[in-house]
Structure 1
Amino acid sequence: MDPVRTPFSLLAERWQPSAAMVRRAAFAALVMSVVIVVTGGAVRLTASGLGCTTWPRCTGESLTPTPEMGFHGVVEFTNRMLTYVLSAAVGWAILAARCHRRPSAEGSATPWRRSLTKLGWAQFWLVMSNAVIGGITVLTGLNPYTVAVHLISAMALVWVALLMWERAKEGDGPAQPSVARPIVQLSYVLVTVVGLLVAAGSLVTGAGHHPGTPRDNKIVPRIPIDYDRLAQAHADLAFASVGLAVAVIFVFAAVKAPPGARARAKELLAVLLLQGVLGFVQYFTDVPELLVGLHMLGAALTWIAVLRVPLALRVRTDGAPTAFRPADERQPAAA
């Protein structure tokens, strides 16, 4: 029992969700973090970025959009309301992690999983900070740099949500690498390059064709860098990401990395190739809104795919840590 009784500890005495429910709650938070990325993009692509003219209210006099604001006001306000759905999903994940008890070998219950709860609270504070950044974006008239920060912050939320979901499937012991350290470092390089790819995409957005308001609106500033040059830099990073992903697949095969890691590397390559094809098609078709929206969904899925690679190169159990052994010294897996 906790030394200090709190509403959370009182709830935990009466409700002990299963491990499966904790995983479902963490997955729901992850899904909603991707949804908020896509709907945020929809706000910009429908030119509804200033559908609500201020923040936190929709207008100076009203919390909700007025009939005069029309379609754009509804789109922007709906995206704001989805933040509450996201918050509910994160809240469910926090409560499930806080109240879950992992059974021990002696038949008793282990203390609540503090690491999972901390990741849940990290998501909560990221949601709150991103809401504030979104408000600043509106108050600054869709400044492209704050728009980029808004997207990067949303991707940080996706990162933490993924970590919680993956941790919900692991034990609470210390993480032990399942491959040699240089292989783990290679996976970190892969994450860094793909992260730069996503960040470059946000800059392309800031200089591109969809400022978030009707095209005849000249008030919204754009990043003062040639759009074609930014797009080329973005494409160069895409080529580098694909090449590195191919190299990782061959390296993982050579060192006999865990099957899960090899599968995730192949999944990443598939997502990168699909995302690359989509990016080239949208560039040469004058970036239609639907393709840009799909590209944003692809960016979130690419980010998830690359983050899952290093997470598959470790083992975390509830027992004592075990030393890493090379693949050729391990016992063969049972058929």
Structure 2
Amino acid sequence: MRTPFALLADRWHPTAATVRRAALAALVMSVVIVVTGGAVRLTASGLGCTTWPRCTGESLTPTPQMGVHGVIEFTNRMLTYVLCAAIGWAILAARCARPWRRSLTRLGWAQFWLVMSNAVIGGITVLTGLNPYVVAVHMVAAMALVWVAVLSWERSAEGDGAPELAVPGPLHRLSYLLVTVIGLLVLAGTLVTGAGHHPGAPGADGKPVWRIPLDYDRLAQAHADLAFLSVGLAVAAVFVLAAVKAPPAARARVRDLLVVLLLQGVLGFVQYFTDAPELMVGLHMLGATLTWAAALRVPLALRTRADAPADLPSPALANA
């Protein structure tokens, strides 16, 4: 018996450009869901829906008595379906394209299961009263989704041949070191958040929501140290890639990463010295997501894959 995917593939043959647009839509929605999740916490709406998977014990949707916090939390939950629709489009486009890009289909399904698992983690955050460690895992899982979405979007412009390095091996390893340090930077940011000013909801019975029992200033300093290290590595990568005449796309991506890192650093310092106002924290979360995505794109520009789709320009030109 043939699957519905196979039957659809007999009738619809999207172009490589359509597949790439679908992958980009999934990536954009993965960034949006991080930002809206931050908005839930910054508006103290983390417990706007008091349980999960329902919004209340008796209702799937927020009730008028729950006010704006219930609407905000429920809206963020509903955006998960929009994200799933974007990922579904990417999966179908990859499956129905000719030739069938099995690697893209697998990446699409990986995104879907990351969304499903993170929805469960989100439910656990509600059921545990916004435990800061669970909230941190929720954020890390969202960044994992961004990782796979970036990879899917980049791979949609490449072929399925074996990767070939366009720079010497040590430079490629430097790019992975840069990604690792920025990953640690994002992880440290989740701990700062867990010990910081915005727990996500007012405490029950007048008690504050439990926070990570670590010194906030020390965590913020460690976070800043990793930021300085990230900027230093990015500056080094800019000069080294220019010296070895790396592909223009790679040099452009490292410069973009450096700019995003510097802007994010400014936001971080302003946020710290202004006692973390909600708008600044929200912008910083967006910046963290964009920084992570920019870092992930650097090593992908340092190698090529053969058999690029015929109706797209070569990866080097497309990403220049």
Please tell me whether residue 261 in structure 1 is matched to residue 250 in structure 2: yes
Q: Which runs of 5+ in 2 are unaligned?
A: 309-320
**Bigger radius of gyration, 1 or 2?**
1
Of 264, 267, 270, which residue of structure 1 is paired with 2:259?
270
How is 1:97-136 mapped onto 2 (pairs within 5 angstroms)? 97-101=94-98, 110=99, 112-136=100-124
1:214 Cα deviation after fit: 2.9
**Bigger proportion of residues as helix:** 2
Distance, in Å, in 1 between the alignment partners of 2:167 and 2:284 is 33
1:318 Cα deviation after fit: 1.5
Q: Which residue of 1 aligns with 2:11?
A: 14
Distance, in Å, in 2 between the alignment partners of 1:218 and 1:156 is 33
Across the aligned residues of Structure 1 and Structure 2, the Cα RMSD in angstroms comes to 1.1
Of 285, 306, 309, which residue of structure 2 is paired with 1:317?
306
Distance, in Å, in 2 between the alignment partners of 1:142 and 1:281 is 26
Of 122, 134, 137, which residue of structure 2 is paired with 1:146?
134
How is 1:149-168 mapped onto 2 (pairs within 5 angstroms)? 149-168=137-156
Distance, in Å, in 2 between the alignment partners of 1:27 and 1:51 is 31
Q: Which residue of 1 aligns with 2:28?
A: 31
Q: Which runs of 5+ in 1 are unaligned?
A: 102-109, 320-335
How is 1:1-335 mapped onto 2 (pairs within 5 angstroms)? 5-101=2-98, 110=99, 112-214=100-202, 217-318=206-307
The normalised TM-score by structure 2 is: 0.94
Are the aligned partners of 2:23 and 2:152 in contact in 1 as well (CA < 8 Å)?
yes
The normalised TM-score by structure 1 is: 0.90
Distance, in Å, in 2 between the alignment partners of 1:67 and 1:219 is 25
**Counterpart amino acid of residue 200 in structure 2:** G
SS of alignment partner, residue 5 of structure 2: helix
**Counterpart amino acid of residue 200 in structure 1:** A
Distance, in Å, in 1 between the alignment partners of 2:165 and 2:109 is 27
SS of alignment partner, residue 74 of structure 1: helix
Give a deviation string over 1:269-309, Cα, whole Å, max 9, x none.
00000000000001111100001000000000000100000
Give a deviation string over 1:37-80, Cα, whole Å, max 9, x none.
00000000000000000000000000000000001000000000
Distance, in Å, in 2 between the alignment partners of 1:201 and 1:69 is 31
1:219 Cα deviation after fit: 4.3
**Counterpart amino acid of residue 7 in structure 2:** L
1:256 Cα deviation after fit: 1.3
Distance, in Å, in 2 between the alignment partners of 1:307 and 1:31 is 15
